[in-house]
Amino acid sequence: MTRQNVTVGERLLASVGTEQGLAAMLASLREYKAELTEVRPPREELVEGYAALMARAGKARGRALLYPYIGSGLGNGALVELADGSVKWDMICGIGVHFFGHSDEGLIRETVLGSMGDTVMHGNLQSGFEPYEFSEILLEEAGKGSRLEHCFVAASGALVNENALKLCYQKHNAAPRVIVFQDCFMGRTVTMSQIGDAAGNRIGLPLSTLVDYMPFYDEAAAVETGMERQIEIARDHLLAILRRYPNQHSCFVFELVQGEGGFRTAPREFFVALMEVCREHGIAVWVDEIQTFGRTTSMFAYDGLGLGEYVDLVTVGKMTQVCATLFTEAYNPGPGLLSATFTGSGGACKAGSYVLRSLRDGNYYGTDGRIAQHHGAFVAQTEALIAKHPEWFGPIDSGRLSPAPAGLVGGWGGMMRLSPFGGSKEMVGKALRACMEEGVILFSCGHGPYHLRMLPPLGVMKLEDWPRVFACVERGLAKAAGS
Ligand SMILES: Cc1ncc(COP(=O)(O)O)c(C=O)c1O
């Protein structure tokens, strides 16, 4: 394109002034973030003010913060500075959002450029091309292994799940029932809170959505009975649901690695058996990749499991910065079904495209990719910790609602689980708080047994960071155990 063929808006973004301004900002960013190289305790003179901030935040939202976390606005890769001046390893990243860590130059550059647009937000009625560029990149990747052809952008995971559900209902003549796995999580709109399998998330909500729950793959039982038997149990369960309510199901929502549910996954054969049944019965196969996207050993987890031929809809979010519902032509809805004032901010859309390109071009995937290497380093560190402190790692108590996983360490790729203290809710909660005090931010998953979970910023982490992270984890677990 020659200079004459570009719009004034494009010239502004490519102008010397914009470039110089960005260069100055990024140089400053580099200088300041270079100060954050180690875990640090809170600064004494900031402790009181920090407690006051926490109290103000709690008062504003009507409930104390779950974690004593308020960011200062600066970080360096996997390290983040809090408003009390402490520096910590961030191994949970806003529950999986900040895959490129804190104060990433590339992301900040894109966000600033996106923010120089004429409006803060893009919308469905009036928009720049940014949300569609994001959609095109995503669809190009999805199209390599599936029939997904279209993409509708929205601002949160729960919203893109709502949109996917509408597409399923409309395509299947308003068949009212939804099938999901026990322990699934889908977001917190009125409908998603009903479908998600956590009693606490639907207290006080009238139940208007018809949901059937399927048992997830029982990894520990499969060790005893063999995989085939577990598949047979699940298939029979699904067929029983379909016999009970013939022609009343619009979709089966699959979380291929259960996120909130405990970082459990299953072999390809398990999913294929259930997806085949869906196909035979004309039920949409919808894969919720809001937590898995980008993070396993393939960009889409369904690709890693070789399930692309089955998927009718996929939802993505978190690390993509804006969220999306992808769907095949058969699910393309009539006019009026999907819209909203906003799609996303200019900064978020541009950042989303940058994330997708970085994932695509960055040697992340495959058995030797960066993500697999990090998972290997995580497992090695956890196994060394278990060997050093077997007293913290007794057998997982399986006498609870959900089946226990087969081992003390697990997950897939950048979804990492370790299971100390027998999966006890109280002890895992204690461990989380102690680890935070010792300089590493983690979170839990599972509904009993409970586990420690990491969604680390593998886009910026180095393999040599792992021993430093685990030094904090070890101190935190020791504190929790009272040793
Ligand atoms: C699998 C899954 N689906 C949906 C959601 C909801 O996404 P959001 O919190 O952005 O609404 C989440 C969030 O954790 C999730 O893990």
Task: Tokens for 8, please give them.
Answer: 């004034």
- Work out the average pLDDT over 203-224: 95
Q: Ligand 1 centre and the CA of 39: distance in Å? A: 29
- Work out the average pLDDT over 250-266: 96
Instruction: Tell me the C-alpha distance between 450 and 386, whole Å.
Output: 17
Spell out where 373-457 has E strands: 409-412, 415-418, 440-441, 443-445, 451-454
pLDDT digits (tens, 9 = 90+) for 404-441: 788 999 999 999 999 999 999 999 999 999 999 999 99
State which of 159, 186, 443 you would mutate to test the pocket of ligand 1, scoring each by most atoms of that ligand within 8 A of its C-beta: 186
Contact 370, 456 (CB under 8 A): no
Q: Ligand 1 centre and the CA of 287: distance in Å? A: 12
Angle between helices 346-361 and 130-142 (to 10 degrees): 30
pLDDT for 177 equals: 98
Give the number of C-alpha atoms closer than 13 A to the C-alpha of residue 95, restricted to the C-beta side. 13
Model-level pTM? Answer: 0.97
State which of 184, 318, 453 you would mutate to test the pocket of ligand 1, scoring each by most atoms of that ligand within 8 A of its C-beta: 318
Q: Ligand 1 centre and the CA of 38: distance in Å? A: 31
3-state helix, strand, coil in the chain (%, to 5): 45, 15, 40
- Per DSSP, the three-state class of 198 is coil
Instruction: Tell me the C-alpha distance between 51 and 438, whole Å.
Output: 18
Asked whether the predicted pLDDT for residue 234 surpasses 90, the reply is yes
Closest ligand 1 atom number to CA of residue 158: 11
Spell out where 11-125 has E strands: 71-76, 79-82, 87-90, 121-123
Q: Which residues contact 443 (CB under 8 A, 6 or more apart)?
A: 92, 95, 432, 452, 453, 455
Instruction: Tell me the C-alpha distance between 103 and 5, whole Å.
Output: 35
State which of 159, 185, 256, 443 you would mutate to test the pocket of ligand 1, scoring each by most atoms of that ligand within 8 A of its C-beta: 185
Task: Tokens for 363, please give them.
Answer: 């040697």
Q: What is the DSSP string of 52-86?
A: HHHHHHHHHHTS--SS---EEEEEEBTEEEETTS-
pLDDT digits (tens, 9 = 90+) for 41-91: 999 999 999 999 999 999 999 999 999 999 999 999 999 999 999 999 999
Q: Return the percentage of the chain with pLDDT > 70, whole number.
A: 98
Q: Ligand 1 centre and the CA of 185: distance in Å? A: 7
pLDDT for 405 equals: 83
Asked whether the predicted pLDDT for residue 8 surpasses 60, the reply is yes
Task: Tokens for 19, please give them.
Answer: 């470039």
Angle at 305 between CA 303 and CA 306, to 5 degrees: 60
Q: Which residues contact 13 (CB under 8 A, 6 or more apart)?
A: 113, 116
Minimum CA distance residue for ligand 1 atom 4 = 186
Instruction: Tell me the C-alpha distance between 423 and 263, whole Å.
Output: 13
pLDDT for 56 equals: 98
Around ligand 1, the residues with Cβ closer than 6 Å are 95, 156-158, 161, 185-187, 255, 259-260, 288, 290-291, 317
Contact 158, 192 (CB under 8 A): yes
Contact 81, 87 (CB under 8 A): yes
Confidence band for 401, pLDDT divided at 50, 70 and 90: low
- Work out the average pLDDT over 29-37: 98
Q: Phi and psi at residue 305, in whole multiples of 5°?
A: -95, 5
- Work out the average pLDDT over 14-23: 97
Q: Ligand 1 centre and the CA of 206: distance in Å? A: 21
- Work out the average pLDDT over 363-383: 98
Closest ligand 1 atom number to CA of residue 159: 11
- Of 1 and 297, the one with more pLDDT: 297
Name the residue ranges covered by the structural domains of the chain: 35-96+366-483, 114-361
Contact 403, 221 (CB under 8 A): yes
Instruction: Tell me the C-alpha distance between 290 and 161, whole Å.
Output: 9
Q: Phi and psi at residue 174, in whole multiples of 5°?
A: 60, 25
**What is the assigned CATH class of domain 35-96+366-483?**
alpha beta
Closest ligand 1 atom number to CA of residue 288: 1
Minimum CA distance residue for ligand 1 atom 16 = 291
- Work out the average pLDDT over 460-471: 98
Confidence band for 347, pLDDT divided at 50, 70 and 90: very high
pLDDT for 28 equals: 98
Confidence band for 400, pLDDT divided at 50, 70 and 90: low
Instruction: Tell me the C-alpha distance between 328 and 332, whole Å.
Output: 7
Q: Ligand 1 centre and the CA of 288: distance in Å? A: 9
Task: Tokens for 142, please give them.
Answer: 């999805």
Instruction: Tell me the C-alpha distance between 365 and 372, whole Å.
Output: 7
Instruction: Tell me the C-alpha distance between 98 and 459, whole Å.
Output: 9
What mean pLDDT is reported for the chain? 96
Pick the CATH number of 114-361 from 3.40.50.300, 3.40.50.10540, 3.30.310.50, 3.40.640.10: 3.40.640.10
Report CA dihedral (258, 261, 265, 271) to the nearest 10 degrees.
-60
Minimum CA distance residue for ligand 1 atom 6 = 187
Contact 84, 97 (CB under 8 A): no
Q: Ligand 1 centre and the CA of 399: distance in Å? A: 28
Q: What is the DSSP-derived secondary structure letter of residue 102? A: B
Closest ligand 1 atom number to CA of residue 255: 1
| Topology agreement, domain 35-96+366-483 and domain 114-361 | no
Q: Ligand 1 centre and the CA of 231: distance in Å? A: 27
Instruction: Tell me the C-alpha distance between 215 and 252, whole Å.
Output: 13
Q: Ligand 1 centre and the CA of 445: distance in Å? A: 13
Rg (CA), the chain: 23
- Work out the average pLDDT over 263-280: 97
Q: Give the Å distances, CA to CA, from 286 to 165, 210, 278, 310, 328.
A: 9, 17, 10, 9, 11
pLDDT digits (tens, 9 = 90+) for 132-141: 999 999 999 9
> What amino acid occupies position 110?
E
Contact 414, 458 (CB under 8 A): yes
Q: Which residue do the tokens 């509708």 mark?
A: 152
pLDDT for 111 equals: 98
Confidence band for 1, pLDDT divided at 50, 70 and 90: very low
Sign of CA dihedral 200, 421, 291, 102: positive
Asked whether the predicted pLDDT for residue 3 surpasses 60, the reply is no
Closest ligand 1 atom number to CA of residue 260: 16
pLDDT digits (tens, 9 = 90+) for 83-128: 999 999 999 999 999 999 999 999 999 999 999 999 999 999 999 9
Q: Ligand 1 centre and the CA of 45: distance in Å? A: 37
